[in-house]
Chain A
Amino acid sequence: MHGRKDHSPRITRRGLMLLGIQFGVIGTLGWRMRQLQVEQSDQYRLLAEENRINIRLIAPERGQIFDSRGVLVARNQPNYRIVMVREQAENVEQVLDRLARLINLSDADKRDVLEDMYKRSPFLPVTVKQHMSWEEFALVAANGPSLPGVITDVGLNRNYPFNETYAHLVGYVGPVSERDLSRMEDPDPLFQIPRFPIGKTGVERTLENTLRGSAGIRRIEVNATGRVMRELGRDEATPGKDVQLTVETGLQEYARKRLAGESAAAVVMDVNTGDIKAMASAPGFNPNSFVLGISNAEWEPLRDSKYRPLSDKSVSGAYPPGSTFKMAVALAALEEGLLEPDETIVCRGFIELGGRRFHCWKRGGHGRVDLDKSLEQSCDVYYYEIARRVGIEKIAAMARRLGMGQEFDIPLSAMSSGLIPDKAYKLRLFGEKWKIGDTLNAGIGQGFVLASPIQLAVMTARLATGRAVLPNLVYSLDGVPARRTEAPDLGISASALDYVREGMYSVVNSEQGTARKSRIADRNNLMAGKTGTSQVRGITMAQREAGLPDKDEVPWENRDHALFVCYAPYDKPKYAVAVVVEHGDSGSGTAAPIARDIMMRALYDGEPPLAAYPPAERNRIRAEQERARAAELATQQNGEGQ
C-alpha cells in the first residue's frame, strides 16, 4: 500500500494547496460583500437616494475654421427648433393642429411626431421641427400661451457658407457612427450623445480633437421615475479651438470655378513658405448635405459617378506625371555628371532598345536636341537616352528629393503617397526583375511612376527655390500661429537647377514652347512651367501605324491625362501651381490655360489686368470677366431685393 502511494499520479497535495488559496480569495469576496451590503449599507442607501441627482452632458461649441484672411469657412449656425412635451400639452392633436396653422407642418410630419411621442415617456421632449426660419420660429414663440407643451429651443449646427468651394479641403461633419467609435481607443464621453457631430473628412476629420472641445456637466435632480425636477448646477463646456487655414477664399473659389466641367484638381502653393493658398478638386459636392445625414437619393449619384466627386483628387489622386517628370530625370543626369546641358542628342521619332521601339510623341522626331530644347518641346527620345544613362535608382532618388513618393504632414485624410518605383519595388510587388524598358518609361513619367497634384506642386516649388519646401495648411490654432522654419537647402547644385529652370522658361515663353499660348505677357510676372500629357493605355504598333485617332472618337476613360506645373514670377518665384485634368487629352491645350489663369489670380490677388494676357486671348478673357461681373451684380441685386 505504501509503495503504491509513492507512485500514485494523484495531485492531492497541490490540489489542497490550490483549494486553500481559493478559499482565501472567496473569503475576501464574502468579507467585501458584508462590508458593502451590511456594514456600509445605510451609507450606500443614502447615496442611492442622492443618485437621483443625475449627470447630463453639455455639448461644447465646435471650433470654427477661417481662411488666411479671417473669412469664416466653417461656422456654427443657430438651429431653430421646437420640441413638445406630451404631458404638458394635454390634447396633443389639438395643439399640433394649431401649430400646423402657424407653420408648415405636413400630415406625415404630424403622424411621425405623434408616434414618437406615444412611444416615449410623457415627460420627455420630442422634436417637432428643426431648421426653421427665424420668422416661423418667432411666430411660434409669440403664440406660446395658446400652444401648451410646445417649447422653442435653439441648437447649433455646422454650416459651410461657401458650399462646394471647400468641400474636400475642409470636409464636413456628420452624426457619429458605430464605425467612428470602433476606430477610437478611448472615445470622448460626448459621443454618447446620439447623433453628436464628428468630422468625417478633410480638416474637420483630421483636426477633430482640436475642434471638438470638451463636455460640460449639468447636474439635475430626477425623481424615482427619472423625470427631471430641477437643475442643481453646471460646469460649462470648453469650446473647441478655432483653426485658421493658409488658403485664401477668393483664390479657392476662382480655382473651383475654373475647374468646373472637368474631372480635375489644382494646387496653389507659396514657394517660400509652403503655405497652400488654394487646393481644389472637381467635381465637388455640397458638404452641407452631409451635416444632418445625407439622403440615399442624393448620395448614390455622388458615390457612383465616374468623375468621383467625393474624392479629393488634389491629395488622393495618383496619376502618371508624364512629361512633368522630365525635370527630375534631367536633374539626376546633371547631378551625376552624365549630361552636359549643351550636348545634343538626335531624335528620329523613336529609339530602339532590346528589339522594342520607344516612340517620341512627335512622329517625325525633333532632330538635334539639347537640354533647353528637350524641355521646351518635350522630346521623349532625349529622356529615353538620359534615363538609360542614369538608371532608375538615381532617378528615383532625385524624384524623392523633389517631394514625390511620400505623404506630407498636412491635416487631410486619404492622402496618396504616389509611387516612385525602383528595382526593389518591382521585385517585391510583381516578383519580376526590373527591365531597361521600365527605366525608359519612367524617364518620361510613365510606366509605374505616379504622383498626386500636391506632390507636383511641391516638386515645382522645390525646383523654383532649390529648398526642401513642405506644404502647410494650418496657419494658426486658437490664435497661436503655427511654428514654421525656413526649409533647408535641397543640396542640388545651383547651375543644374538653373539649366532646368531655363528649360521651363522656354516651355512657356519661347516660340517653339509647348505652353506658349498660356504665357503671362506682363514682363514683371513671367512664368516658367512644364506640360505633361500622360497615357492611360498603351498604344499598340498597329494603332500607331493606322494613325492616332481623333480626340472625339476616343471614349473619355481612355483619353490621356492633361498636366501642367508652373511657377511665377520667373526671376523671383512666389507661387507654384499644379493642375491635373483627368482624361483632359492634352497638357498644353487643357491644363496649361487653367493653371495660368489660376496663377494670375494669385499673382494679382484678384482680377488680373487684360494686358497681362497674351494678345490672342484677350477677347476671350474680357468676355469671361464681363460675364462674371454681371453674375455677381445679379446676385447682389437679388440680395438687396429680399
Chain B
Amino acid sequence: MSYFDGSGRVPTGFAKVLYLNWPLVVLVVAVSVTGFLMLYSVAGGSYDPWARAQMIRFGVGFVAMFVIAFIHIRVWRRVTPIVYIFSVILLIVVYFFGTEGMGAQRWINLGFMQLQPSEVMKVALIMALAMYYDWLPREKVSRPFWVAVPLLLTLVPMALVLIQPDLGTAILLAAGGGVVMFLAGVSLWYFGAALAVAGGLVAAVFISRGTSWQLLKDYQYRRIDTFLDPSLDPLGAGYHITQSKIALGSGGLSGRGFMQGPQSRLNFLPEKQTDFIFTTFAEEFGFVGSISLLAIYTAIVVFAVVSAINNRDRFGALLTGGLGATFFFFFAVNMAMVMGLVPVVGVPLPLVSYGGTAMLVLLGAFGLIQSAHIHRPR
C-alpha cells in the first residue's frame, strides 16, 4: 500500500505533475533513447534515414503522453466507445483504401505520416473491454452471454486485421483482450477451454496438411517448416533466423561495442531497423546489454501491474493492467522471435523499432496509464 496517499485527495492543476508515476517516465525515456542509438547505428552512424524521424516522433508523442495523463480518467472512459468504433472504421477504411506494402494493406496515407490503424486498435480494444467490465456487475462476469460480448468486441478487429493479412497483430489483439478478461475475473475454465481449442486448431492445421481440407496455404506450411528447421530455406526466412542467432550469439558477454557489430555492418541481417533491431543491439552490447534492456522492460511491466493492483477504480485498473500486458507481449514476442523461440511474425520491439504509429500509440498508452495513476481514488 505504498502508493496510498494519506490525504485522500485526487490532485488537481499543476499538482498533478508531482503525482505522476515518475519512475515509469524515466524508464520509457531510457528505452526510447536506446532506440535512437540503435537506429543511428544501423544506419551506419547517421541520423538519417531513421534516427532523426524517430526522435521527432518521440518528441511529439512525449508531449502527447503528458497531455493525455493530465486529462481525467473519467473523460477517457467516456470517450472509449467513440475511440473503439472509430478504430474499427479505420480498419475497414484501410482494407479498401489503404496503401499496400510487403503484400499487406496496412497503412492509410495522411499526407504527413502513414497511419497504421491496427496499432491504434490495440489500445482501443483494451479501453473498450476495461469499460465493459467496469460497467458489468461482478457476479455476471462468468456467465456465458456476458463472456460472449467481449469475445465479439475482440474478434471483430481481429478478423479485420487477419484479412490484411497481419497475423502478428491479430495475435497481440487476442492476447490483449484475453488479459483484460483474465484480470476482470472471468472463470479460469474459459481460459482452459480457449487453450484447448487453440491446441486443437494447431493439431488440425498439421493433420490437414496435404489433404483436401488443408487449412493453410502451402507457403504458410513452408514457413512453419522453416521455423522448425531453418536450414530448409537458407535464402528466405530461415536465413534470417540463422543470421539473427549468429549475430546475437557472437555478441558474447560484453558485445562488440557500439557501431562495431560486423554482422550488422555487413548487411547479413534483415529488417535491421524494424523487427530485427534487437539483434544489432545484442551483437553490439552483448549479454550485459540485452539482459539490461530486458530488465528495463520488466520494470515497466512491474510498474504498470503494481499500479493496476493498487487502483480501486475498476476501469483504471483494468486499463493499466491490459496496456501493461500488451506492452509485455510486444517485447516478449519480438525477443522470442529473433532468438528463434517462436516463428517469425511481424511484431516490432516496442519504443525501439522504427515505426511512427507504434511509437505514438505506445506513448499514448503510457499517457493513459499515467492518467489512471494520477486520478486513482484515494
Which A residues are closer than 8 A to B by beta carbons? 8-12, 14-19, 22-23, 25-26, 28-30, 32-34, 36-38, 40-41, 43-45, 47-48, 51, 54-55, 57, 181-186, 189, 215, 217, 222, 224, 226
Contacts and interface: CB of A to CB of B under 8 A. Distances in A.
Interface in B137-169: 138
Contact of A18 (B101, B102, B179): B179
Contact of A33 (B266, B268, B291): B291
Given A9-B314, A11-B321, A18-B183, A51 B243 contact: yes
Contacts of B312: 8-10
A18 B263 contact: no
B287 A15 contact: no
Given A9-B314, A57-B235, A15 B305 contact: yes
A33 B339 contact: yes
A10 B290 contact: no
Contacts of B222: 186
A34 B325 CA distance: 24
B339 A36 contact: yes
Contacts of B102: 182
B317 A9 contact: yes
B308 interface: yes
Nearest to A12: B309
Q: Of A30, A36, A41, which is in contact with the most chain B CB atoms at under 10 Å from its CB?
A: A36
Given A29-B294, A32-B341, A186 B219 contact: yes
Interface stretch (B38-46, B245-253, B345-353): B245-253
B311 interface: yes
B225 interface: no
28 contacts: A9-B313, A10-B310, A11-B185, A11-B321, A14-B185, A15-B321, A17-B182, A18-B179, A18-B182, A19-B301, A26-B294, A26-B298, A29-B336, A33-B291, A33-B294, A37-B248, A37-B253, A38-B252, A41-B250, A41-B251, A41-B253, A41-B287, A45-B252, A51-B263, A51-B268, A183-B103, A217-B235, A222-B266
B249 A36 contact: yes
Closest 7 CB pairs of A and B: A44-B249, A48-B250, A37-B287, A186-B219, A15-B309, A9-B314, A41-B252
Contact of B282 (A12, A26, A37): A37
A215 B336 CA distance: 31
Contact of A51 (B246, B294, B335): B246
B199 interface: no
A189 B235 contact: yes
A146 to B, nearest CB: 35
B134 to A, nearest CB: 8
A32 B321 contact: no
B263 A37 contact: no
A225 to B, nearest CB: 8
Nearest to A33: B290
Nearest to B235: A189
Contacts, number: 149
B128 interface: no
Interface string B217-256: 1010010000000000011100100010111111111000
A543 B291 CA distance: 88
A182 B100 contact: yes
Interface in B252-283: 252-253, 262-263, 266-268, 282
Interface size class of B (residues with CB under 8 A): 35 or more
A32 to B, nearest CB: 5
Contacts of A57: 235
A15 B318 CA distance: 9
B286 interface: yes
Interface string B46-62: 00000000000000000
B250 A47 contact: yes
A213 to B, nearest CB: 15
Contact of B245 (A15, A22, A23, A44): A44
Nearest to B318: A11
A14 to B, nearest CB: 5
Contacts of A37: 248-249, 251-253, 282, 286-287, 290
A11 B138 CA distance: 11
Nearest to A50: B246
Contacts of B182: 14, 17-18
A11 B246 contact: no
Contact of A184 (B103, B234, B291): B103
Contacts of B268: 51, 54
Contacts of B248: 36-37, 44
A189 B240 CA distance: 13
Contacts of B253: 37-38, 41
A179 B141 CA distance: 49
Interface string B160-197: 00000000000000000001001111000000000000
B328 interface: yes
Nearest to B293: A33
A184 B103 CA distance: 7
Given A30-B291, A33-B339, A18 B252 contact: no
Contacts of A30: 291, 294
A181 B103 CA distance: 7
Contacts of A26: 294, 297-298, 301, 332
B302 interface: yes
A232 to B, nearest CB: 14
B287 A33 contact: yes
Interface string B320-355: 010001001000100110010100000000000000
Nearest to B310: A10
A288 B179 CA distance: 60
Contacts of A40: 249
A300 to B, nearest CB: 26
A36 B245 contact: yes
Contacts of A19: 301-302, 305
B252 to A, nearest CB: 4
A10 B305 contact: no
A55 B235 contact: yes
A215 B236 CA distance: 12
Nearest to B217: A185
A43 B251 CA distance: 11
A25 B332 contact: yes
A19 B305 CA distance: 7
Nearest to A14: B183
Contacts of A45: 249-250, 252
Contacts of A55: 234-235, 239
Interface in B65-103: 100-103
B247 A48 contact: yes
Nearest to A15: B309
Given A18-B182, A41-B249, 12 more contacts: A15-B305, A18-B321, A28-B336, A28-B341, A30-B294, A33-B287, A34-B287, A40-B249, A44-B249, A45-B249, A47-B246, A181-B103
A22 B103 CA distance: 33
A51 B246 CA distance: 9
Q: Of A11, A26, A40, which is in contact with the most chain B CB atoms at under 10 Å from its CB?
A: A11
Contact of B266 (A25, A182, A226): A226
